[in-house]
Amino acid sequence: MEIDAFSGNLRRMEVFDQLAEQYQGEHSHNPFQAALIEEIAALLPSGTSVLDLGCGTGVPTAQVLTESDHRVVGVDISEGMLRLAREQVPAAEFVHADFKELADDFGSFEAVTAFFSLLMLSKAEIERTLDKAFGWLKPDGYLALGMVNFDGDSLPFDFMGVPVTVSGYLESDLAAVLKAHGFTVVSIETVAFTPADGPEESQIFALARKPA
């Protein structure tokens, strides 16, 4: 199991090291993601802290939130992504780590964001990460998620020309999983987004809250 986990982490790291600039070019201008980031920025008082899981190149999430006077800690497994993030969003703090392996006491935050980063995990890993996120959040803290709208667990997929495995939920199932892990679902919607050089994707954006 440990060897399999290490191999999976290495594959994910290599994939996103290869795709850092291309990924930003194709996926950083999603208006639905931008709207949810802006909503989080407006909901939180100035100066509060946000943990961005799978922060990628820092654009747009860390960039928008730091420009809105929030303290952002971004975590990513890819040094290639983080190199760009540190250049583009110097006001944020970036940590090179596999976010699903972060300690339960990693920190305390007013919001946790994960835009399409949970996709690369198995459903069991996603749910363990949701439990960790619940623990990192302060009471009344927010969780913002972006997922692809499909039902599958560690299915093979060609991601921008690179083979990976991905997991996902349908909207009603994702809402149920969030509730099962203690969150109150504030909003959830399924939308259609077309990346710059890719086919249309059905995506889910969810905003949830940890009860007081």
Note down pLDDT in tens along the chain; length 212 residues: 333 443 444 455 555 555 555 555 555 689 999 999 999 999 999 999 999 999 999 999 999 999 999 999 999 998 888 999 999 999 999 999 999 999 999 999 999 999 999 999 999 999 999 999 999 999 999 999 999 999 999 999 876 666 788 999 999 999 999 999 999 999 999 999 988 777 899 999 999 999 99
Pairwise CA distance, residues 91 & 58, whole Å? 11
Distance of CA 141 to the CA centre of its chain: 16
Place of tokens 């100066």: 47
pLDDT of the residue at 4: 42
Domain coordinates of the chain in residue numbers?
2-209
Task: List the alpha helices (DSSP H) in the chain.
Answer: 2-27, 31-43, 61-67, 79-88, 123-136, 171-180
Classify domain 2-209 at the CATH superfamily level: Vaccinia Virus protein VP39 (3.40.50.150)
Q: Answer whether 0.85 is exceeded by the pTM.
A: yes
pLDDT at 196: 74
CA distance 132 to 121: 14
Q: What is the pLDDT of residue 10?
A: 42
Task: Please give the pLDDT value at position 103.
Answer: 97
According to the model, what pLDDT value does residue 197 have? Answer: 73
Q: What is the pLDDT of residue 160?
A: 64
For residues 149 and 120, what is the distance between their CA atoms, to the nearest angstrom?
Answer: 14
Rounded Cα distance, 30 and 49, in Å: 23
